Amino acid sequence: MTFDYDLFVIGSGSAGIAACKQAVTYGKRVGVVEQEDFGGTCINRGCIPKKFIVYAADFALQNQVASSYGWDNIQGNFDWGRFIQSVHQQIAKRQQSYLQKLQATGVEMLQGKATFVDAHTVEISDRKITADKIIIAVGGEAIKLDIPGAEYAITSREMFLLEQLPKRLAIVGGGYIGVEFSSMMNAFGVEVTLMDNDELILSGFDGDIRSGVQSGLMKRGIKFLGKTTAEEIEKTDRGLQLTLSGDRKTITVDTILFATGRSPKTKNLGLENAGVEITEKGAVQVDEYSRTTQDNIFAIGDCTSRIPLTPVARAEGKAVAKTIFDSSSVKLDYNCVPSAVFARPEAASVGMSEAKAKEKFASVQCHRTEFEALFESMTEREDCTMMKLVVDGSSDRVLGAHMVGERAADIIQSLAVAIKKGITKHDFDATIGIHPTTGEEFLVLD
Ligand SMILES: Cc1cc2nc3c(=O)[nH]c(=O)nc-3n(C[C@H](O)[C@H](O)[C@H](O)COP(=O)(O)OP(=O)(O)OC[C@H]3O[C@@H](n4cnc5c(N)ncnc54)[C@H](O)[C@@H]3O)c2cc1C
Ligand SMILES: NC(=O)c1ccc[n+]([C@@H]2O[C@H](COP(=O)([O-])OP(=O)(O)OC[C@H]3O[C@@H](n4cnc5c(N)ncnc54)[C@H](O)[C@@H]3O)[C@@H](O)[C@H]2O)c1
């Protein structure tokens, strides 16, 4: 049987594009379909626009302490409308260059919503295309709580479309998105109330990261409500009235952000027509080679709910194209995937948390420090830096590294290479640092 494509990819996000780019290197006929903006979440409404907002917010934070460094009369006027417009222009420019580069590789790009007709056929509008192999890379979407008045709340997607900053913002969910937006919005002067089901923010991270970031946010005036969720939203003439769980107290705000996680975008994709099964939570069921329950169909990225991060999505895309078209199957190693929370204070981690390590190893040693960074010592701000190495006591191998503080993401990124390679605490001690930096403190931990 002949097909229109050797490989057809549904979804042009980080995962789908990486798969396309790798597949064309084998001289294959590759097509990709996108129902929204090419490039997916990361470049259009995720990591990239978010990082621009982090940079904008940093000016506000630096301005607050500039007088400690001899600066007078720092201008304090921030024009969100002008700024967010520039962000969208920058995104459009990046998207254009992204599209041109992809087109140049010979990948055919189609616009529209794809649904499966059968295991080799996909329908896009009224057109049917056939492919030998198909990759599902449809990503995820924010979960909206099912509570009365939920229609008045927004998700991270709409945060990038705000025409003006709210005066009062409530954020439900203290994970990556809730913490990052509470940090950015607080820097712009927005009154932020953050809440989470759990006692501490950032579930899944090492305990010292959770408490370190939480106390850093609270010192900056963010109000945190632990073991709390939203039960009801009502629109009043004073704003949005949010009823909290527990004692059913209410708070009134201008904007409510739901940031309680994301779910795979697998509904209405016709997966049942193709024999592709999903898990209870809607993720496409895959094996370690990203194969679905149908032989010729694969799934990668956020829609598989493995580790929903851009670099992982990209790596899965590359690996699956190699598995499909190279002679050997490529199994991705999910150990030591670093990640960061771009809040202020910033936090980053790689490898095992102290709690995880203690579950797995008989003897675990933690080497930890907490100090005031050089930059902060000239100011009256009380930001604290925390660094921690989790070490297997019997082999001296470093199992995890965790940091809260300036440049945590970049520092942990570099340590990730060494830790993945099996570096020991002795190797850290034997390495000479760069002075004066924050990172050098990882090399002198007691
Ligand atoms: C606010 C926010 C900030 C983030 N920040 C970071 C960060 O700093 N670092 C990081 O590593 N990760 C971050 N992430 C996560 C990261 O964006 C995702 O892990 C990554 O984009 C996943 O890529 P993907 O290709 O799996 O999915 P996506 O990028 O979501 O791409 C899926 C694409 O498929 C398309 N699609 C869906 N269904 C169909 C269909 N039926 N037909 C055609 N097209 C379809 C969608 O329109 C979408 O464009 C962030 C996410 C959010 C929401
Ligand atoms: N810097 C980054 O790499 C980055 C940034 C943003 C998003 N992301 C990715 O996007 C994904 C989604 O982010 P997210 O922040 O929406 O999810 P998340 O899973 O990181 O956090 C969700 C939080 O909401 C809480 N929660 C769940 N239900 C709740 C409820 N009903 N009431 C109150 N709290 C509730 C959870 O305890 C958790 O702390 C992340 O898992 C991450 O992979 C990454």
The CATH code for residues 5-139+265-326 is: 3.50.50.60
3-state secondary structure the chain: CCCCEEEEEECCCHHHHHHHHHHHCCCCCEEEEECCCCCHHHHHHCHHHHHHHHHHHHHHHHHHHHHHHCCCCCCCCCCHHHHHHHHHHHHHHHHHHHHHHHHHCCCEEEECCEEEEECCEEEECCEEEEEEEEEECCCEEECCCCCCCHHHCECHHHHCCCCCCCCEEEEECCCHHHHHHHHHHHHCCCEEEEECCCCCCCCCCCHHHHHHHHHHHHHCCCEEECCCCEEEEEEECCEEEEEECCCCCEEEECEEEECCCEEECCCCCCHHHHCCCECCCCCECCCCCCECCCCCEEECHHHHCCCCCHHHHHHHHHHHHHHHHCCCCCCCCCCCCCEEECCCCCEEEEECCHHHHHHHCCCEEEEEEEECCHHHHCCCCCCCEEEEEEEECCCCEEEEEEEECCCHHHHHHHHHHHHHCCCEHHHHHCCCCCCCCCHHHHHHCC
Span from the CA of 11 to the centroid of ligand 1 (angstroms): 9
Per CATH, the homologous superfamily of domain 143-260 is FAD/NAD(P)-binding domain (3.50.50.60)
Please identify every residue annotated as catalytic. Answer: 435
Structure tokens at 59: 């000016």
From the CA of 261, the nearest ligand is 2
Mean pLDDT, the chain, rounded, equals 97
Q: Is the pTM of this model over 0.80?
A: yes
Q: Which of 41, 51, 262 to mutate to test the pocket of ligand 2 (most atoms within 8 A of CB)?
A: 262
Instruction: In whole angstroms, give the CA distance from residue 236 to residue 251.
Output: 12
Report pLDDT for 1.
79
Enumerate the domain spans of the chain: 5-139+265-326, 143-260, 345-443
- What is this model's ipTM? 0.99
357-388 pLDDT tens trace: 999 999 999 999 999 999 999 999 988 999 99
Of 166, 173, 184, 156, nearest in space to 239 by CA: 166
Instruction: In whole angstroms, give the CA distance from residue 409 to residue 311.
Output: 14
78-136 pLDDT tens trace: 999 999 999 999 999 999 998 899 999 999 999 999 999 999 999 999 999 999 999 99
Q: How confident is the model at residue 275 (pLDDT cuts 50, 70, 90)?
A: very high
311-334 pLDDT tens trace: 999 999 999 999 999 988 899 999
Q: Which residues, 6+ apart, have CB-to-CB distance to 330 below 8 Å?
A: 289, 319, 320, 322, 323
Q: How confident is the model at residue 394 (pLDDT cuts 50, 70, 90)?
A: very high
The residue written with tokens 């907002």 in the block is 53
Q: Do domains 5-139+265-326 and 345-443 have the same CATH topology?
A: no
214-270 pLDDT tens trace: 999 999 999 999 999 999 999 999 999 999 998 889 999 999 999 999 999 999 999
User: Domain 345-443 belongs to what architecture?
Assistant: 2-Layer Sandwich (3.30)
Question: Which residues have CB under 6 Å of ligand 2?
Answer: 145, 172-178, 180, 195-198, 203, 229, 259-262, 308-309, 339-342
Q: Which of 51, 138, 278, 307 to mutate to test the pocket of ligand 1 (most atoms within 8 A of CB)?
A: 138
Residue 75 has pLDDT above 80, yes or no: no
